[in-house]
């Protein structure tokens, strides 16, 4: 598609759905397969696709194909390999459909011989569900039911998340057994949380102790059954030849610095996902229950409401909530509750490697769960590898 007035995302990032436009630049276009070709390059990394997060939305967008579009849209790639993008088709057969996750089911079998590369080493949905169940079972450091008492209070509808109304007078956490925090991975994780400036646009500068704390965290999580299970799986998939190669890559993808707000090296995947950031007056990232509890205990987090409480009757569970962080609002913040640091670290890493920039469908204790990751596309490390921009739970339905 040539870049024209209405066929590019230049100056259109974050705009609302524009009926009649040849392609779209709103935060939901990737899900609906109608993004302009330069959407990811111009918009995805800048916006992190996080504000607001499309978590557990109960309804799809109301926009549909115009009534004049009366032919039956093809659902196969038969005779369509390399065809131009058409937003009215339910699935696609162009070179970028895999990137956006909207290929027709027979794309690989019909189009691989047409010059597309066949993903012979791709991790399947079934493999993801199998390894995620193994990781779930391996989380020996998770909280037990008696370790955490939650007071989730009022649940609201997704349409109310923008109201910024505090509907819960009590804190979210009534009780947490802080003996959990003396476990090696918890202690190493907590030591990292205060190493960051939350406002984007301020460069991060680590001293020798803070750098050592990153290494300590990686060393401690790699001792756990959770991360051993993840490495065993990725090694079997020929993604890493040695544990050292894996750990080195973890340090780069999670702790490597990039510029999210204009200042060189002001952000990282770990800071964004686990510690939380503030950008343009809003909370971004901040998807960790330990961080939430500790900030709430200090009086810095005010829990407002939630839109989703997961189906699990033990920990880890999932909660999608609204809160105020020291004067800044989070419209939809999803977080595992009661999981160990290594559990979240493992699942987000798994999904970033297996489904970068896409929805990653897992299974935990027999229940479906989906995680969305996004890559940071403006800068790379190593031989063109990408940093983690964000990772968070987006749904529990399949």
Candidate list 272, 279, 358, 386, residue with the active-site label: 272
Q: Is 88 part of the annotated catalytic residue set? A: no
Sign of CA dihedral 55, 119, 386, 291: positive
Predicted local distance difference test score (pLDDT) of residue 31: 56
Q: Name which of 377, 391, 396 is nearest 317 in CA terms.
A: 396
Helix, strand, or coil (residue 180): helix
Q: Name which of 266, 309, 271 is nearest 291 in CA terms.
A: 271
Q: Is 386 part of the annotated catalytic residue set? A: no
Predicted local distance difference test score (pLDDT) of residue 388: 96
Predicted local distance difference test score (pLDDT) of residue 42: 76
Mean pLDDT, to the nearest integer, of 321-338?
95
Q: What pLDDT digit, counting tens, does each position of 355-370 carry?
A: 998 899 999 999 999 9
Candidate list 89, 279, 330, 358, residue with the active-site label: 330
Q: What pLDDT digit, counting tens, does each position of 236-255 carry?
A: 999 999 999 999 999 999 99
Task: Measure Cα distances from 246 to 158, 211, 277, 355 in Å.
Answer: 39, 18, 27, 17
Res 344 pLDDT > 80: yes
Predicted local distance difference test score (pLDDT) of residue 274: 98
Strands (E), the chain: 148-150, 173-176, 277-279, 282-284, 301-309, 317-325, 328-337, 359-364, 367-381, 385-395
Helix and strand counts by DSSP (H, E) for the chain: 13, 10
Sign of CA dihedral 218, 220, 222, 228: negative
Predicted local distance difference test score (pLDDT) of residue 164: 94
Query: Which residue reads 């590019």 in tokens?
Result: 8
Q: What pLDDT digit, counting tens, does each position of 137-177 carry?
A: 999 999 999 999 999 999 999 889 889 999 999 999 999 99
Res 261 pLDDT > 90: no
Helix ranges (H only) for 223-302 are: 225-236, 243-255, 269-270, 289-297
Q: Is 330 part of the annotated catalytic residue set? A: yes
Q: What pLDDT digit, counting tens, does each position of 203-221 carry?
A: 899 999 999 999 999 999 9
**What confidence category does residue 285 fall into, taking pLDDT thresholds of 50, 70 and 90?**
very high
Res 45 pLDDT > 60: no
β pairing state of 359-364 and 367-381: antiparallel
Mean pLDDT, to the nearest integer, of 252-262?
91
Res 180 pLDDT > 50: yes
The answer to whether 287 and 273 are in contact (CB under 8 A) is yes
Predicted local distance difference test score (pLDDT) of residue 55: 47
- Residue-wise DSSP of 350-388: HHHHHSTTSEEEEEETTEEEEEEEEEEEEEEETTTEEEE
Cis omega (within 30 of 0) for bond into 316: yes
Residue 383 burial (10 A CB sphere; 0-12, 13-18, 19+): exposed
Lowest-confidence pick of 33-47, 60-74, 225-239, 254-268: 60-74
Res 66 pLDDT > 90: no
Six-digit token string for 397: 């339905």
Backbone angles phi, psi at 16, to 5 degrees: -70, 165
Top-confidence residue, 182 or 394: 182
Candidate list 89, 92, 279, 287, residue with the active-site label: 287
Top-confidence residue, 185 or 203: 185
Domain boundaries, the chain: 125-395
Alpha-carbon distance of 140 to 36, in angstroms, equals 45
Mean pLDDT, to the nearest integer, of 309-327?
95
Res 111 pLDDT > 70: yes
pTM of the full structure: 0.73
Predicted local distance difference test score (pLDDT) of residue 315: 96
**What confidence category does residue 30 fall into, taking pLDDT thresholds of 50, 70 and 90?**
low
**What confidence category does residue 99 fall into, taking pLDDT thresholds of 50, 70 and 90?**
low
Alpha-carbon distance of 355 to 349, in angstroms, equals 10
Q: Name which of 34, 41, 38 is nearest 2 in CA terms.
A: 38
Six-digit token string for 56: 């557990």
The answer to whether 193 and 272 are in contact (CB under 8 A) is no
Helix, strand, or coil (residue 328): strand
**What confidence category does residue 24 fall into, taking pLDDT thresholds of 50, 70 and 90?**
confident
Share the mean pLDDT of the chain: 84
% of the chain at pLDDT higher than 70: 84
């Amino acid at each position: 598609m040539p870049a024209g007035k209405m066929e590019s995302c230049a100056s259109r990032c974050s705009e609302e759905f524009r009926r009649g436009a040849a392609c779209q630049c709103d935060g939901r276009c990737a899900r609906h397969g109608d993004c302009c070709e330069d959407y990811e390059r111009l918009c995805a990394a800048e916006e992190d696709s996080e504000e607001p997060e499309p978590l557990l939305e109960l309804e799809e967008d109301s926009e549909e194909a115009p009534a004049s579009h009366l032919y039956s849209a093809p659902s196969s790639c038969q005779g369509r390999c390399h065809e131009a993008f058409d937003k009215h088709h339910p699935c696609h057969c162009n070179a970028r459909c895999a990137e956006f996750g909207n290929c027709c089911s027979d794309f690989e079998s019909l189009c691989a011989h047409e010059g597309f590369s066949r993903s012979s080493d791709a991790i399947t949905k079934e493999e993801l569900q199998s390894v995620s169940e193994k990781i779930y079972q391996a989380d020996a450091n998770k909280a037990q039911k008696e370790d955490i008492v939650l007071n989730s209070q009022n649940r609201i509808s997704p349409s109310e998340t923008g109201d910024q109304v505090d509907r819960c007078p009590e804190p979210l956490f009534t009780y947490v057994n802080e003996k959990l925090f003396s476990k090696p991975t918890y202690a190493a994780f907590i030591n990292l949380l205060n190493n960051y400036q939350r406002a984007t646009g301020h460069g991060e500068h680590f001293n020798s102790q803070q750098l050592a704390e990153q290494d300590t965290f990686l060393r401690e999580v790699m001792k756990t059954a959770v991360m051993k299970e993840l490495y065993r799986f990725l090694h079997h998939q020929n993604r890493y030849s040695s544990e050292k190669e894996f750990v080195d890559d973890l340090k780069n993808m999670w702790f490597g610095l990039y510029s999210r707000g204009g200042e060189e090296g002001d952000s990282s995947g770990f800071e964004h996902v686990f510690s939380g950031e503030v950008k343009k007056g809003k909370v971004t990232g901040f998807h960790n229950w330990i961080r939430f509890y500790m900030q709430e205990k200090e009086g810095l987090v005010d829990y407002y409401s939630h839109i989703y409480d997961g189906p699990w009757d033990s920990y880890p569970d999932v909660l999608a909530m609204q809160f105020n962080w020291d004067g800044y609002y989070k419209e939809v913040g999803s977080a595992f509750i009661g999981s160990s640091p290594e559990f979240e670290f493992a699942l987000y890493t798994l999904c970033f490697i297996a489904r970068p920039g896409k929805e990653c469908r897992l299974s935990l204790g027999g229940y479906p769960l989906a995680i969305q990751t996004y890559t940071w596309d403006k800068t790379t490390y190593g031989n063109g590898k990408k940093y983690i921009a964000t990772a968070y739970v987006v749904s529990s339905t399949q």
